[in-house]
Protein backbone atom coordinates (compact mmCIF):
# COMPACT_ATOMS: atom_id res chain seq x y z
CA UNK A 1 0.00 0.00 0.00
CA UNK A 2 2.84 2.30 0.85
CA UNK A 3 4.59 1.58 -2.48
CA UNK A 4 1.45 2.40 -4.43
CA UNK A 5 1.06 5.74 -2.69
CA UNK A 6 4.68 6.67 -3.46
CA UNK A 7 4.30 5.80 -7.15
CA UNK A 8 1.16 7.95 -7.38
CA UNK A 9 2.98 10.91 -5.75
CA UNK A 10 5.92 10.67 -8.12
CA UNK A 11 3.62 10.53 -11.12
CA UNK A 12 1.76 13.62 -9.95
CA UNK A 13 5.03 15.55 -9.37
CA UNK A 14 6.34 14.60 -12.81
CA UNK A 15 3.12 15.67 -14.47
CA UNK A 16 3.23 19.06 -12.70
CA UNK A 17 6.86 19.66 -13.79
CA UNK A 18 6.05 18.90 -17.44
CA UNK A 19 3.11 21.28 -17.41
CA UNK A 20 5.27 24.11 -15.99
CA UNK A 21 7.92 23.54 -18.72
CA UNK A 22 5.33 23.72 -21.50
CA UNK A 23 3.84 26.88 -19.97
CA UNK A 24 7.30 28.59 -19.83
CA UNK A 25 7.98 27.72 -23.47
CA UNK A 26 4.67 29.19 -24.51
CA UNK A 27 5.30 32.48 -22.61
CA UNK A 28 8.97 32.96 -23.80
CA UNK A 29 9.20 35.10 -26.97
CA UNK A 30 11.02 33.63 -29.91
CA UNK A 31 14.56 34.97 -30.60
CA UNK A 32 15.23 35.82 -34.28
CA UNK A 33 18.33 34.50 -36.03
CA UNK A 34 21.40 36.78 -36.36
CA UNK A 35 21.68 38.65 -39.70
CA UNK A 36 23.80 37.09 -42.39
CA UNK A 37 27.24 38.89 -42.79
CA UNK A 38 27.14 41.40 -45.63
CA UNK A 39 30.13 42.60 -47.70
CA UNK A 40 30.90 46.37 -47.22
CA UNK A 41 29.82 48.68 -49.99
CA UNK A 42 32.72 49.93 -52.19
CA UNK A 43 33.81 53.56 -51.82
CA UNK A 44 32.63 55.62 -54.76
CA UNK A 45 35.64 57.98 -54.83
CA UNK A 46 38.45 55.38 -54.58
CA UNK A 47 40.03 54.05 -57.77
CA UNK A 48 42.03 51.20 -56.24
CA UNK A 49 42.92 49.33 -53.06
CA UNK A 50 43.72 51.16 -49.84
CA UNK A 51 47.23 50.51 -48.55
CA UNK A 52 48.08 51.47 -44.93
CA UNK A 53 50.37 54.49 -44.89
CA UNK A 54 49.92 55.20 -48.60
CA UNK A 55 46.19 55.64 -49.15
CA UNK A 56 44.06 54.78 -52.11
CA UNK A 57 45.31 54.21 -55.63
CA UNK A 58 46.24 51.50 -58.06
CA UNK A 59 48.88 48.98 -57.07
CA UNK A 60 51.35 50.19 -59.67
CA UNK A 61 51.48 53.75 -58.35
CA UNK A 62 51.76 52.54 -54.75
CA UNK A 63 54.78 50.41 -55.65
CA UNK A 64 56.43 53.30 -57.44
CA UNK A 65 55.99 55.64 -54.50
CA UNK A 66 57.76 53.28 -52.13
CA UNK A 67 60.76 52.73 -54.40
CA UNK A 68 61.26 56.03 -56.20
CA UNK A 69 59.50 59.25 -55.17
CA UNK A 70 60.23 60.81 -58.54
CA UNK A 71 58.18 58.17 -60.39
CA UNK A 72 55.27 58.82 -58.07
CA UNK A 73 55.12 62.49 -59.05
CA UNK A 74 55.07 62.08 -62.85
CA UNK A 75 51.91 63.68 -64.14
CA UNK A 76 50.72 66.15 -66.69
CA UNK A 77 51.31 69.79 -65.71
CA UNK A 78 48.33 71.36 -64.05
CA UNK A 79 47.45 74.83 -62.92
CA UNK A 80 44.71 73.87 -60.48
CA UNK A 81 43.85 76.81 -58.26
CA UNK A 82 43.65 76.39 -54.49
CA UNK A 83 40.16 76.16 -53.18
CA UNK A 84 38.80 73.86 -55.91
CA UNK A 85 36.36 71.40 -54.45
CA UNK A 86 36.35 67.69 -55.14
CA UNK A 87 39.16 65.28 -55.75
CA UNK A 88 42.68 66.72 -55.85
CA UNK A 89 44.06 65.73 -59.24
CA UNK A 90 47.59 66.97 -58.48
CA UNK A 91 48.32 65.70 -54.95
CA UNK A 92 47.28 62.11 -55.73
CA UNK A 93 49.35 60.57 -52.91
CA UNK A 94 50.71 61.85 -49.60
CA UNK A 95 54.33 63.05 -49.54
CA UNK A 96 57.14 61.41 -47.66
CA UNK A 97 56.66 62.50 -44.04
CA UNK A 98 59.56 61.38 -41.84
CA UNK A 99 59.06 60.82 -38.16
CA UNK A 100 59.96 63.58 -35.72
CA UNK A 101 63.70 64.18 -35.63
CA UNK A 102 64.45 62.42 -38.94
CA UNK A 103 63.56 65.24 -41.32
CA UNK A 104 67.10 66.63 -41.56
CA UNK A 105 68.63 63.21 -42.25
CA UNK A 106 66.04 62.50 -44.93
CA UNK A 107 66.91 65.71 -46.78
CA UNK A 108 70.65 65.01 -46.71
CA UNK A 109 70.40 61.34 -47.74
CA UNK A 110 67.58 61.61 -50.28
CA UNK A 111 68.72 60.29 -53.67
CA UNK A 112 67.60 62.81 -56.25
CA UNK A 113 66.92 61.26 -59.65
CA UNK A 114 65.27 64.45 -60.88
CA UNK A 115 65.32 68.10 -59.84
CA UNK A 116 64.33 68.08 -56.18
CA UNK A 117 63.53 71.56 -54.84
CA UNK A 118 63.56 72.32 -51.12
CA UNK A 119 61.38 75.25 -49.97
CA UNK A 120 61.50 76.51 -46.35
CA UNK A 121 58.23 78.27 -45.51
CA UNK A 122 57.29 80.58 -42.62
CA UNK A 123 53.60 81.06 -41.85
CA UNK A 124 52.28 83.88 -39.65
CA UNK A 125 48.82 84.99 -38.57
CA UNK A 126 47.35 88.48 -38.70
CA UNK A 127 49.18 89.41 -35.46
CA UNK A 128 52.58 88.35 -36.79
CA UNK A 129 52.74 85.19 -34.66
CA UNK A 130 54.10 81.92 -36.03
CA UNK A 131 51.41 79.42 -37.01
CA UNK A 132 51.97 75.80 -36.04
CA UNK A 133 49.98 72.62 -36.58
CA UNK A 134 49.64 72.81 -40.37
CA UNK A 135 49.89 69.66 -42.49
CA UNK A 136 50.88 69.12 -46.10
CA UNK A 137 47.20 69.26 -47.06
CA UNK A 138 47.16 72.97 -46.14
CA UNK A 139 49.91 73.85 -48.64
CA UNK A 140 49.97 74.22 -52.39
CA UNK A 141 53.22 74.86 -54.28
CA UNK A 142 53.42 76.47 -57.71
CA UNK A 143 56.51 76.69 -59.91
CA UNK A 144 56.19 79.01 -62.89
CA UNK A 145 52.42 79.09 -62.25
CA UNK A 146 52.16 75.27 -62.48
CA UNK A 147 51.12 73.38 -59.40
CA UNK A 148 53.59 70.77 -58.19
CA UNK A 149 52.66 67.82 -55.93
CA UNK A 150 54.46 67.89 -52.59
CA UNK A 151 56.92 64.99 -52.36
CA UNK A 152 58.45 65.79 -48.95
CA UNK A 153 57.12 67.49 -45.82
CA UNK A 154 58.62 67.98 -42.36
CA UNK A 155 58.38 70.39 -39.44
CA UNK A 156 61.73 69.44 -37.91
CA UNK A 157 64.12 72.23 -36.94
CA UNK A 158 67.30 72.46 -38.99
CA UNK A 159 70.64 73.53 -37.52
CA UNK A 160 71.58 77.05 -38.58
CA UNK A 161 74.71 78.26 -40.34
CA UNK A 162 74.58 82.03 -39.82
CA UNK A 163 76.88 84.65 -41.29
CA UNK A 164 76.46 87.82 -39.23
CA UNK A 165 77.15 91.00 -41.20
CA UNK A 166 77.60 94.22 -39.19
CA UNK A 167 77.39 97.64 -40.80
CA UNK A 168 80.15 99.88 -39.42
CA UNK A 169 79.16 102.87 -41.56
CA UNK A 170 76.26 103.72 -39.25
CA UNK A 171 76.12 107.05 -37.48
CA UNK A 172 77.78 107.17 -34.07
CA UNK A 173 74.54 107.21 -32.05
CA UNK A 174 73.09 104.18 -33.89
CA UNK A 175 76.43 102.39 -33.80
CA UNK A 176 76.50 102.74 -30.02
CA UNK A 177 73.12 100.99 -29.73
CA UNK A 178 74.28 98.17 -31.98
CA UNK A 179 77.50 97.76 -29.99
CA UNK A 180 75.55 97.45 -26.74
CA UNK A 181 73.27 94.78 -28.22
CA UNK A 182 75.93 92.43 -29.60
CA UNK A 183 76.17 90.52 -26.33
CA UNK A 184 72.65 89.16 -26.86
CA UNK A 185 73.46 87.38 -30.13
CA UNK A 186 74.87 84.25 -28.52
CA UNK A 187 71.78 83.82 -26.33
CA UNK A 188 69.58 83.40 -29.42
CA UNK A 189 71.57 80.42 -30.73
CA UNK A 190 71.87 76.72 -29.84
CA UNK A 191 74.95 74.49 -29.57
CA UNK A 192 73.98 72.94 -32.94
CA UNK A 193 74.37 76.29 -34.75
CA UNK A 194 77.55 77.79 -36.20
CA UNK A 195 78.44 81.42 -36.82
CA UNK A 196 80.78 83.47 -38.99
CA UNK A 197 81.19 87.24 -38.52
CA UNK A 198 81.69 89.87 -41.23
CA UNK A 199 81.77 93.66 -41.11
CA UNK A 200 81.82 96.35 -43.77
CA UNK A 201 82.39 100.05 -44.14
CA UNK A 202 84.44 100.74 -47.26
CA UNK A 203 84.75 97.09 -48.26
CA UNK A 204 83.89 93.79 -46.58
CA UNK A 205 86.06 92.14 -43.92
CA UNK A 206 85.79 88.62 -42.51
CA UNK A 207 86.27 88.73 -38.77
CA UNK A 208 86.10 84.98 -38.23
CA UNK A 209 85.17 81.88 -40.13
CA UNK A 210 82.51 79.49 -38.92
CA UNK A 211 82.80 78.61 -35.26
CA UNK A 212 80.48 77.05 -32.70
CA UNK A 213 77.63 79.32 -31.69
CA UNK A 214 78.28 78.70 -28.00
CA UNK A 215 82.07 78.84 -28.17
CA UNK A 216 84.12 81.46 -26.36
CA UNK A 217 85.46 82.72 -29.67
CA UNK A 218 82.20 84.34 -30.79
CA UNK A 219 81.82 86.97 -28.00
CA UNK A 220 85.51 87.83 -28.30
CA UNK A 221 85.18 88.45 -32.04
CA UNK A 222 82.00 90.49 -31.59
CA UNK A 223 83.76 92.66 -29.03
CA UNK A 224 86.55 93.37 -31.53
CA UNK A 225 83.99 94.24 -34.21
CA UNK A 226 82.62 97.25 -32.33
CA UNK A 227 83.31 100.64 -33.93
CA UNK A 228 82.51 104.25 -33.12
CA UNK A 229 80.58 104.94 -36.33
CA UNK A 230 80.57 108.08 -38.46
CA UNK A 231 79.87 111.70 -37.52
CA UNK A 232 76.41 113.13 -38.04
CA UNK A 233 77.59 116.66 -38.93
CA UNK A 234 76.30 118.15 -42.19
CA UNK A 235 79.12 118.67 -44.72
CA UNK A 236 79.60 122.22 -46.06
CA UNK A 237 81.12 122.64 -49.50
CA UNK A 238 80.89 126.42 -49.91
CA UNK A 239 81.34 129.59 -47.87
CA UNK A 240 83.72 130.47 -45.06
CA UNK A 241 83.23 127.13 -43.29
CA UNK A 242 84.15 125.12 -46.38
CA UNK A 243 87.77 124.87 -45.29
CA UNK A 244 86.86 121.83 -43.24
CA UNK A 245 83.34 120.47 -43.43
CA UNK A 246 83.68 118.02 -40.53
CA UNK A 247 85.26 119.30 -37.32
CA UNK A 248 85.87 117.79 -33.91
CA UNK A 249 87.02 119.90 -30.93
CA UNK A 250 87.73 122.74 -33.33
CA UNK A 251 90.11 120.70 -35.48
CA UNK A 252 89.59 119.23 -38.94
CA UNK A 253 88.91 115.50 -38.73
CA UNK A 254 90.22 114.69 -42.21
CA UNK A 255 92.91 116.97 -43.66
CA UNK A 256 92.14 115.66 -47.14
CA UNK A 257 88.84 117.56 -47.01
CA UNK A 258 90.59 120.95 -46.77
CA UNK A 259 90.64 123.21 -49.85
CA UNK A 260 93.42 122.46 -52.28
CA UNK A 261 93.55 118.77 -51.38
CA UNK A 262 91.81 115.82 -53.05
CA UNK A 263 88.35 117.24 -52.33
CA UNK A 264 88.64 120.26 -54.65
CA UNK A 265 90.09 123.71 -55.15
CA UNK A 266 90.45 126.81 -52.95
CA UNK A 267 86.95 128.14 -53.62
CA UNK A 268 84.78 125.04 -53.97
CA UNK A 269 84.99 121.55 -52.50
CA UNK A 270 83.67 118.32 -53.93
CA UNK A 271 82.27 116.44 -50.95
CA UNK A 272 82.98 112.70 -51.17
CA UNK A 273 79.91 110.49 -51.27
CA UNK A 274 79.14 108.12 -48.44
CA UNK A 275 80.41 104.59 -48.95
CA UNK A 276 78.19 101.67 -47.88
CA UNK A 277 79.40 98.45 -49.50
CA UNK A 278 76.41 96.29 -48.59
CA UNK A 279 76.52 94.21 -51.80
CA UNK A 280 80.17 93.28 -51.32
CA UNK A 281 79.55 92.24 -47.70
CA UNK A 282 76.57 90.03 -48.54
CA UNK A 283 78.49 88.40 -51.39
CA UNK A 284 81.47 87.66 -49.14
CA UNK A 285 79.17 86.07 -46.55
CA UNK A 286 77.33 84.07 -49.21
CA UNK A 287 80.59 82.64 -50.58
CA UNK A 288 81.55 81.44 -47.12
CA UNK A 289 78.09 79.94 -46.58
CA UNK A 290 78.21 78.02 -49.87
CA UNK A 291 80.86 75.73 -48.34
CA UNK A 292 78.55 74.53 -45.56
CA UNK A 293 77.20 70.96 -45.86
CA UNK A 294 73.68 69.99 -46.86
CA UNK A 295 71.07 69.71 -44.15
CA UNK A 296 71.79 73.14 -42.64
CA UNK A 297 69.88 76.39 -43.05
CA UNK A 298 72.16 78.90 -44.78
CA UNK A 299 71.36 82.35 -43.38
CA UNK A 300 72.90 85.79 -43.73
CA UNK A 301 71.90 88.06 -40.84
CA UNK A 302 72.58 91.74 -41.55
CA UNK A 303 72.47 94.50 -38.92
CA UNK A 304 72.36 97.71 -40.95
CA UNK A 305 70.33 100.67 -42.13
CA UNK A 306 70.24 99.08 -45.59
CA UNK A 307 72.14 101.81 -47.47
CA UNK A 308 74.22 100.80 -50.48
CA UNK A 309 76.76 102.76 -52.48
CA UNK A 310 80.24 102.03 -53.77
CA UNK A 311 80.17 98.20 -53.97
CA UNK A 312 81.99 96.43 -56.77
CA UNK A 313 79.31 93.72 -56.92
CA UNK A 314 75.93 94.51 -58.42
CA UNK A 315 72.62 93.73 -56.73
CA UNK A 316 71.42 91.41 -59.52
CA UNK A 317 74.65 89.41 -59.44
CA UNK A 318 74.59 88.96 -55.67
CA UNK A 319 70.90 88.02 -55.65
CA UNK A 320 71.46 85.36 -58.30
CA UNK A 321 74.28 83.88 -56.23
CA UNK A 322 71.98 83.72 -53.19
CA UNK A 323 69.15 82.09 -55.13
CA UNK A 324 71.50 79.52 -56.63
CA UNK A 325 73.05 78.50 -53.31
CA UNK A 326 69.86 78.30 -51.19
CA UNK A 327 70.77 81.24 -48.97
CA UNK A 328 68.22 83.42 -47.17
CA UNK A 329 68.85 86.96 -45.93
CA UNK A 330 67.40 88.19 -42.64
CA UNK A 331 67.99 91.58 -41.13
CA UNK A 332 67.54 93.97 -38.25
CA UNK A 333 67.14 97.41 -39.79
CA UNK A 334 68.27 100.28 -37.61
CA UNK A 335 68.78 104.01 -37.92
CA UNK A 336 66.78 105.84 -40.58
CA UNK A 337 65.30 102.58 -41.92
CA UNK A 338 63.69 101.84 -38.53
CA UNK A 339 61.55 104.98 -38.57
CA UNK A 340 57.85 104.63 -39.35
CA UNK A 341 57.09 104.98 -43.05
CA UNK A 342 60.75 105.04 -44.07
CA UNK A 343 60.52 101.58 -45.64
CA UNK A 344 57.97 102.88 -48.14
CA UNK A 345 59.81 106.08 -49.02
CA UNK A 346 63.11 104.25 -49.49
CA UNK A 347 61.63 102.22 -52.34
CA UNK A 348 61.94 105.29 -54.54
CA UNK A 349 65.42 105.33 -56.04
CA UNK A 350 66.94 108.15 -58.09
CA UNK A 351 69.44 106.83 -60.69
CA UNK A 352 73.03 107.62 -59.78
CA UNK A 353 72.20 108.18 -56.13
CA UNK A 354 72.63 105.98 -53.09
CA UNK A 355 70.16 103.19 -52.33
CA UNK A 356 68.49 104.11 -49.06
CA UNK A 357 67.37 100.58 -48.18
CA UNK A 358 68.56 97.82 -50.49
CA UNK A 359 68.59 95.29 -47.65
CA UNK A 360 64.79 95.03 -47.72
CA UNK A 361 64.90 93.85 -51.35
CA UNK A 362 67.35 91.07 -50.47
CA UNK A 363 65.14 89.92 -47.60
CA UNK A 364 61.91 89.80 -49.61
CA UNK A 365 63.51 87.97 -52.55
CA UNK A 366 65.19 85.20 -50.53
CA UNK A 367 62.41 84.30 -48.07
CA UNK A 368 63.80 86.01 -44.97
CA UNK A 369 62.04 88.36 -42.58
CA UNK A 370 63.00 91.91 -41.53
CA UNK A 371 62.71 93.54 -38.14
CA UNK A 372 62.77 97.32 -37.69
CA UNK A 373 64.18 98.41 -34.34
CA UNK A 374 65.38 101.76 -33.04
CA UNK A 375 66.50 101.07 -29.47
CA UNK A 376 69.03 98.76 -27.87
CA UNK A 377 66.36 96.62 -26.18
CA UNK A 378 64.49 96.13 -29.43
CA UNK A 379 67.66 95.21 -31.31
CA UNK A 380 68.50 92.59 -28.67
CA UNK A 381 65.02 91.04 -28.89
CA UNK A 382 65.18 90.95 -32.68
CA UNK A 383 68.08 88.46 -32.55
CA UNK A 384 66.00 85.88 -30.69
CA UNK A 385 62.89 86.64 -32.75
CA UNK A 386 64.54 86.16 -36.12
CA UNK A 387 66.46 83.09 -34.97
CA UNK A 388 63.16 81.54 -33.83
CA UNK A 389 61.54 82.23 -37.19
CA UNK A 390 64.48 80.77 -39.11
CA UNK A 391 64.48 77.66 -36.93
CA UNK A 392 60.72 76.95 -36.89
CA UNK A 393 59.82 76.61 -40.54
CA UNK A 394 57.84 74.15 -42.60
CA UNK A 395 60.08 72.39 -45.11
CA UNK A 396 58.40 71.40 -48.36
CA UNK A 397 59.97 69.47 -51.21
CA UNK A 398 58.85 68.75 -54.75
CA UNK A 399 60.23 67.53 -58.06
CA UNK A 400 60.35 70.22 -60.72
CA UNK A 401 58.81 69.56 -64.14
CA UNK A 402 61.31 71.94 -65.77
CA UNK A 403 64.26 70.70 -67.87
CA UNK A 404 67.23 69.18 -66.06
CA UNK A 405 69.49 72.27 -66.04
CA UNK A 406 68.55 75.18 -68.26
CA UNK A 407 70.02 78.02 -66.20
CA UNK A 408 66.72 79.91 -66.16
CA UNK A 409 65.07 81.46 -63.12
CA UNK A 410 62.10 79.50 -61.76
CA UNK A 411 59.44 81.35 -59.83
CA UNK A 412 58.01 79.75 -56.68
CA UNK A 413 54.72 80.56 -54.97
CA UNK A 414 53.42 78.82 -51.84
CA UNK A 415 49.80 79.19 -50.75
CA UNK A 416 48.01 78.11 -47.58
CA UNK A 417 44.34 77.15 -47.69
CA UNK A 418 43.45 79.08 -44.55
CA UNK A 419 42.21 82.66 -44.27
CA UNK A 420 44.37 85.43 -42.81
CA UNK A 421 47.70 83.61 -43.21
CA UNK A 422 50.93 85.34 -44.27
CA UNK A 423 53.18 82.96 -46.19
CA UNK A 424 56.89 83.83 -46.43
CA UNK A 425 59.18 81.89 -48.79
CA UNK A 426 61.82 82.55 -51.43
CA UNK A 427 60.34 83.87 -54.65
CA UNK A 428 62.36 81.53 -56.84
CA UNK A 429 65.69 79.88 -57.57
CA UNK A 430 68.28 79.11 -60.21
CA UNK A 431 69.06 75.40 -60.74
CA UNK A 432 72.57 74.33 -59.83
CA UNK A 433 74.62 71.31 -60.85
CA UNK A 434 75.54 70.61 -57.21
CA UNK A 435 71.90 69.65 -56.53
CA UNK A 436 72.20 66.54 -58.72
CA UNK A 437 74.00 63.38 -57.72
pLDDT tens string, the chain, 437 residues long: the values are 444 555 565 565 556 655 555 555 555 556 566 566 666 666 555 555 555 545 554 444 444 343 344 434 444 444 445 444 557 878 887 888 877 766 666 666 554 545 889 999 999 999 989 999 999 999 999 999 999 999 999 998 889 999 999 999 998 999 999 999 999 999 999 999 999 999 998 899 999 999 999 999 999 999 999 998 887 665 555 565 555 656 666 666 665 555 545 555 555 555 567 788 999 999 999 999 999 988 899 999 999 999 998 899 999 999 999 999 999 999 999 988 877 555 444 454 445 555 678 999 999 999 999 999 889 999 999 999 999 999 889 999 999 888 777 889 999 999 999 999 999 999 999 988 766 54
Query: What are the φ and ψ backbone dihedral angles of 120, each rounded to 5 degrees?
Result: -75, 135
- Cβ–Cβ contacts within 10 Å for residue 278, how many? 29
| 160-230+274-391: CATH topology | Rossmann fold (3.40.50)
* Pair 289, 300: CB distance under 8 Å: yes
Are β-strands 410-416 and 251-252 bridged in parallel, bridged antiparallel, or unpaired? unpaired
Q: Collect contacts of 201-207 with beta carbons under 8 A, ≥24 apart.
A: 201/167, 201/168, 201/169, 201/227, 201/275, 201/277, 202/169, 202/275, 202/277, 202/310, 203/277, 203/280, 204/277, 204/280, 204/281, 204/283, 204/284, 204/285, 206/284, 206/288
8-state DSSP, 271: P
* Pair 150, 394: CB distance under 8 Å: no
State if pTM tops 0.85.
no
What residues does CATH 3.40.50.410 cover in the chain? Answer: 160-230+274-391
Amino acid sequence: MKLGFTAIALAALLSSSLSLTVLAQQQQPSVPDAPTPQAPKPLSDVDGPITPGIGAGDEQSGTASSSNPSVQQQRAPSSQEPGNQGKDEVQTAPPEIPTAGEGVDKVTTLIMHVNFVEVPVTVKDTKGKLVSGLTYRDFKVFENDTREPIAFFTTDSFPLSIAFVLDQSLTSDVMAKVNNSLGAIQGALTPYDEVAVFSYNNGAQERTGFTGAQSGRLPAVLALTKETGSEMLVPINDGPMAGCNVRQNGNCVDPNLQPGRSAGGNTFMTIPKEIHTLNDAILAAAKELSTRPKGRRRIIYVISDGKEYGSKAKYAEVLRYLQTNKTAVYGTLVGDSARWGESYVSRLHIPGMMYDNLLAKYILATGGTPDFEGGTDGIEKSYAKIAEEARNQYTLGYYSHQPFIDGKFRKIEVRVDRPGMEVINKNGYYPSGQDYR
